[in-house]
Structure 1
Amino acid sequence: MTTRTAHARHRRIHAFALPLAGLLTLGVAGVPATAQPVTADVEAQRTLRGLTLEQKVGQLFVTWVNGKSADEVNAKNKADFGVDTPAQVIEKYHLGGVIYFNNDSRDNFDDPVQVAKLSNGLQRAALRSGARIPLQIATDQEGGTVTRMGAPATELPNAMAISAGRDTKAAQEAARILGHELRAVGINQDFAPDADVNSNPANPVIGVRSFSGRPELASQFVEAQVKGFQNSGRRSETVSAAAKHFPGHGDAATDSHHELPRIDRSEDSWRATDVPPFKAAIKAGIDSIMSAHIQFPSLDPSGEPATLSKPILTGKLREELGYRGVVVTDSLSMDAVREMHTDAEIPVLALKAGIDQLLMPVNLELAINSVLDAVRKGELTERRIDESVLRVLKLKLNRGILTSPFVDPAKVMSKVGTPANLATAQGIADRSVTAIRNDGGVLPLKQQPAKTLVTGWGVSTTTSLAAKLTAHGTQATALQTGQAPTDAQISQAVAAAKNVDLVVVLTNNVGTYPLQGKLLQALADTGKPVVAVAAQIPYDAGYENPIETWLATYGYISPSLEALARVILGKVKPQGKLPVDVPAGKDVGTVKYPFGHGLTW
Structure 2
Amino acid sequence: MRSPKLSRKSVLVTSVAGAVAAVGGGAVIAGAAARRGGGDAPGDAVDETTEAAPDWVETQLASMSLEDKVGQLFMVYVHGESADTDQSEAVASNRERLGADNGAAFVAAYKPGGIIYFDWANGLTDPGQIAALSNGLQEAAGDVPLLIATDQEYGSVVRIGEPATQFPGAMPLGATRDLEAAHEAAQIAGAELRAMGLNQNFAPDADVNVDPANPVIGVRSFGSDSALVAEFTTAQVGGYQAGGVAVSAKHFPGHGDTGTDSHVGLPVITHTTEEWERIDAPPFVAAIAAGADMVMSAHIQFPALDDSLKPATLSEPILTGLLRDRLGFDGVIVTDALDMQGVRTEYGDERVPVLALLAGADLLLMPPDFPLAYEAVLAAVAAGELTEERIDASVRRLLALKHARGIPEAPMVDASAAADAVGTAEHLAVAADIAERSITLLANDGTLPFAGGSVLVTGWGENTTARLTESLAGLGVQAEALVTGEAPDAAAIASAVAAAEGRDLVVVTTFNVASGSAQADLVAALMDAGVPVVAAAVGTPYDAAGLPAVNASLASYSYTAPSLAALAKVITGALDPSGMLPVDVLSESGEVSYALGHGLHYA
With normalisation by structure 2, the TM-score equals: 0.90
Secondary structure of 1:454 counterpart: strand
CA distance in 2, matches of 1:195, 1:363: 29
Match of 1:263 among 269, 272, 277: 269
Secondary structure of 1:274 counterpart: helix
CA contact (8 A) 1:448 1:569 kept: yes
Match of 1:522 among 513, 525, 528: 525
**C-alpha deviation, 1:544, in angstroms:** 4.5
The count of corresponding residues between Structure 1 and Structure 2 is: 548
Match of 1:160 among 162, 171, 175: 171
Give the structure 1 partner of residue 211 of structure 2.
Answer: 200
**C-alpha deviation, 1:255, in angstroms:** 0.2
Give the structure 2 partner of residue 148 of structure 1.
Answer: 159
What letter matches 2:69 in structure 1? Answer: K
Give the structure 1 partner of residue 578 of structure 2.
Answer: 575
Give the structure 1 partner of residue 557 of structure 2.
Answer: 554
Task: Write out per-residue CA displacement over residues 204-224 of structure 1, whole angstroms, 9 at most, x where no aligned residue.
Answer: 100010001010000000000
What letter matches 1:112 in structure 2? Answer: P
What letter matches 2:102 in structure 1? Answer: T
Give the structure 2 partner of residue 25 of structure 1.
Answer: none
* 1:98 partnered with 2:103: no
Match of 1:310 among 310, 316, 324: 316
Secondary structure of 2:438 counterpart: coil
Task: Write out per-residue CA displacement over residues 153-177 of structure 1, whole angstroms, 9 at most, x where no aligned residue.
Answer: 1000120101100000000011011
Task: Write out per-residue CA displacement over residues 140-192 of structure 1, whole angstroms, 9 at most, x where no aligned residue.
Answer: 00111111111111000120101100000000011011100000000100000
Give the structure 2 partner of residue 368 of structure 1.
Answer: 374
Secondary structure of 2:392 counterpart: helix
* 1:463 partnered with 2:466: yes
Task: Write out per-residue CA displacement over residues 549-568 of structure 1, whole angstroms, 9 at most, x where no aligned residue.
Answer: 10000010110101101111
CA distance in 1, matches of 2:321, 2:106: 35
Give the structure 2 partner of residue 115 of structure 1.
Answer: 130
Give the structure 1 partner of residue 10 of structure 2.
Answer: none
Q: Structure 2 matches for 1:119-518, cutoff 5 A?
A: 119-127=134-142, 132-230=143-241, 232=242, 237-438=243-444, 440-445=445-450, 447-449=451-453, 451-511=454-514, 514-518=517-521
CA distance in 2, matches of 1:303, 1:519: 42
CA contact (8 A) 2:127 2:196 kept: yes
CA distance in 2, matches of 1:197, 1:337: 21
CA distance in 2, matches of 1:331, 1:226: 21
CA distance in 1, matches of 2:418, 2:425: 14
CA distance in 1, matches of 2:402, 2:474: 46
CA distance in 1, matches of 2:52, 2:346: 42
What letter matches 1:467 in structure 2? Answer: E
What letter matches 2:530 in structure 1? Answer: G
Task: Write out per-residue CA displacement over residues 106-130 of structure 1, whole angstroms, 9 at most, x where no aligned residue.
Answer: 2431111100000000001111xxx
**Unpaired stretches in structure 1, ≥5 consecutive residues:** 1-37
List structure 1 runs of 4+ shifted beyond 4 angstroms: none
CA contact (8 A) 1:188 1:240 kept: yes
Secondary structure of 2:82 counterpart: coil
With normalisation by structure 1, the TM-score equals: 0.90
**C-alpha deviation, 1:40, in angstroms:** 4.1
CA contact (8 A) 2:469 2:479 kept: yes
**C-alpha deviation, 1:402, in angstroms:** 1.0
Give the structure 1 partner of residue 34 of structure 2.
Answer: none
Secondary structure of 1:195 counterpart: coil
What letter matches 2:462 in structure 1? Answer: V
CA distance in 1, matches of 2:543, 2:428: 29
**C-alpha deviation, 1:87, in angstroms:** 1.0
CA contact (8 A) 1:40 1:398 kept: no
CA distance in 1, matches of 2:232, 2:491: 44
Match of 2:539 among 536, 541, 554: 536
* 1:42 partnered with 2:46: no
Secondary structure of 1:249 counterpart: coil
CA distance in 2, matches of 1:478, 1:403: 52
Return the structure number with greater relative CO, CA threshold 8 A, min gap 6. Answer: 2
CA contact (8 A) 2:523 2:547 kept: no
Secondary structure of 1:431 counterpart: helix
Secondary structure of 1:531 counterpart: strand
Distance 1:50 1:171, change over 3 A: same
CA contact (8 A) 2:581 2:597 kept: yes
CA distance in 2, matches of 1:478, 1:71: 44
**C-alpha deviation, 1:90, in angstroms:** 1.2
* 1:72 partnered with 2:73: no
CA contact (8 A) 2:515 2:546 kept: no
Deviates more, 1:492-501 or 1:561-570: 492-501
Task: Write out per-residue CA displacement over residues 341-369 of structure 1, whole angstroms, 9 at most, x where no aligned residue.
Answer: 00000000000000000000000000010
Give the structure 2 partner of residue 600 of structure 1.
Answer: 601
CA distance in 2, matches of 1:282, 1:266: 22
CA distance in 2, matches of 1:137, 1:512: 41
CA contact (8 A) 2:209 2:256 kept: yes
CA distance in 2, matches of 1:386, 1:269: 36
What letter matches 1:571 in structure 2? Answer: A
What letter matches 2:452 in structure 1? Answer: Q
Secondary structure of 2:119 counterpart: coil
CA contact (8 A) 2:206 2:254 kept: yes
**C-alpha deviation, 1:573, in angstroms:** 0.7
**Unpaired stretches in structure 2, ≥5 consecutive residues:** 1-50
CA contact (8 A) 1:252 1:262 kept: yes
CA contact (8 A) 1:483 1:513 kept: no
Secondary structure of 2:402 counterpart: helix
**C-alpha deviation, 1:82, in angstroms:** 2.7
**C-alpha deviation, 1:93, in angstroms:** 1.4
CA distance in 2, matches of 1:299, 1:83: 40
CA distance in 2, matches of 1:271, 1:553: 31
State percent identity of aligned pairs.
53
CA distance in 2, matches of 1:512, 1:187: 41
Q: RMSD of the alignment, in Å?
A: 1.2
Give the structure 2 partner of residue 63 of structure 1.
Answer: 76
CA distance in 2, matches of 1:386, 1:167: 42
Distance 1:192 1:137, change over 3 A: same
